[in-house]
Amino acid sequence: MTVISSSFVLVFLLLASLCCAAPATNPKATTISIVASKPTSSLQSAVPKAAASSQSAVPKPAASSQPAAKAPPALLSQATADEAGGGVPSGPLPATSFTPNAVQLFKVANFIENIESAFFAQVLQSLGKDQNFNAPATDGRSIANVTSQIAAQELVHIATVGGLLGAAGEQAVPACANVVGVTDTNDFLARSNVITSASIGVIIGLISTLAMSDPTLVRPLASILSTESQQDTFFRMSGNNTPSAAPFNTGLSTTFAYNIALTFVDPRSCPQLMPLPILPSLNLTSPMMTATAPVTPPTSITFNATEVPRDGNLYVGWVNQANPVVYTNVTLKNGVGSADVPKGLTGITFAALTAQMTEITVDGLSNVTLAGPAAVLLS
């Protein structure tokens, strides 16, 4: 039980990283400087309020229950933990050895989680007067109410991840300062779906990597994964989509998730970038990312190709569900690129411009991507 609860801490770290990805389709959105809503003064360990069950050990601040171990920094207010439904996992820190691989993946997760948190915090401020955002639904909760809880959960994830990295003798990743703003509730829902889908996608990838290097982290990650899916379901349904569009969610590489997350911020405002490639964005001109999937799924995409190399054949690699990457040909005409959407893709898919069509894994495609990934909502 102890091992499991400690792995939960790690899982939360990973969740954070998973959460934040967004399409770069909104280059003209304004950049808003975020006022940190993370409480830095009232520091206290949160007690899990809604902790279920039998396996909850001592519902006391971690610090007091393990005086010998280096306790994670307590960065959470009780109010945040209450709103989130619980705080940083209690109990001893994970007994697992943090492999260098796991440290690196947790830092990527920390980076993405920071962005996700800042995105939700920014939206709660900027849409404070938006009627669709604040109107209560029949259950009495508005989109703002639910988003507020999700934002609190992100703060718990960040505190948890930071604490785990600290226990491994590593610095937490500092947050990027400037987040790209949203224009309205529909824009928010569209981008939230992208972020959570990217988060889900990177967690799927992290689990398969950590299963080999740090297997005790798999269980907590799987727990985080299902929470992310619940959050995505909320965003999808708020946008009048079916709760789940496909039998499988789509796994992503850290590089793809990182690049999606970077579209939510001004990268120049990030004190520390990750040692991952920053790819040119694939600037779609159709379909634009929307909260609601089109009634008829798009059969092609178009993108601004003025900066795209003209020599040789180009392809779009499509990542969807648990399938191998599939490719369609790119046609360039008057500075506009177009490619068909392969048949059989559903839900949200990720498209990347490339000059080859032999890589069948998303990791392989990530190494040879010329621009992208771009999120495309099909259903």
Ligand X SMILES: *[C@@H]1O[C@H](CO)[C@@H](O)[C@H](O)[C@H]1NC(C)=O
- For residue 300, state whether it binds ligand X (rule: CB under 6 A): no
Query: Residues 2-41: x/- map of binding to ligand X (CB under 6 A)?
Result: -------------------------x--------------
Q: If residue 107 lies in a helix (H) or strand (E), which one and from where to where?
A: helix 100-126
By CB under 6 A, residue 160 contacts ligand X? no
How far is Cα 151 from Cα 115, in angstroms, rounded to an integer?
A: 11
Q: Any contact of residue 306 with ligand X (CB under 6 A)?
A: yes
User: Is residue 308 a contact point for ligand X (CB under 6 A)?
Assistant: yes
Nearer to ligand X, 145 or 346 (CB): 145
SS3 134: helix
334 belongs to the binding site for ligand X (CB under 6 A): no
Window of 35-43, 177-185, 228-236, 307-315 that interacts with ligand X by CB under 6 A: 307-315
Which class for 44: exposed (0-12), middle (13-18), buried (19 or more C-beta within 10 A)?
Answer: middle
Decide if 193 contacts 39 (C-beta within 8 A): no
Measured between alpha carbons, how far is 350 from 320 in angstroms, rounded to an integer? Answer: 7
d(CA 187, CA 174): 27
Strand partners, 284: 303
For 227, residues 6+ apart whose C-beta sits below 8 A from its C-beta are 15, 153
Check binding of 141 to ligand X (CB under 6 A).
Answer: yes
Instruction: By CB under 6 A, tell whether 208 contacts ligand X.
Output: no
312 binds ligand X (CB under 6 A): no
363 binds ligand X (CB under 6 A): yes
Q: Which of 197, 281, 349, 369 binds ligand X (CB under 6 A)?
A: 281
For ligand X, give the closer residue by CB, 297 or 342.
Answer: 342
Q: Which is nearer to ligand X, 184 or 363 (CB)?
A: 363
Q: Which amino acid is at 170?
A: E
CA-angle at 12, arms to 81 and 259, nearest 5°:
115
Q: Between 70 and 141, whose beta carbon lies closer to ligand X?
A: 141
Choose one: 33-41, 189-197, 269-277, 279-287; the region binding ligand X (CB under 6 A). Answer: 279-287
Concatenated DSSP letters for 213-254? H-GGGHHHHHHHHHHHHHHHHHHHHHTT--S-SSSSPPP--H
Q: Site for ligand X (CB under 6 A): which residue of 138, 296, 313, 334? A: 313
Instruction: Give, as one character, the DSSP assignment of residue 292.
Output: S
The window from 11-19, 98-106, 237-245, 305-313 that contacts ligand X (CB under 6 A) reads 305-313
Residues forming contacts to ligand X in the complex (CB under 6 A) are 27, 140-142, 145, 280-283, 304, 306-308, 313, 329, 361, 363-364, 367, 371
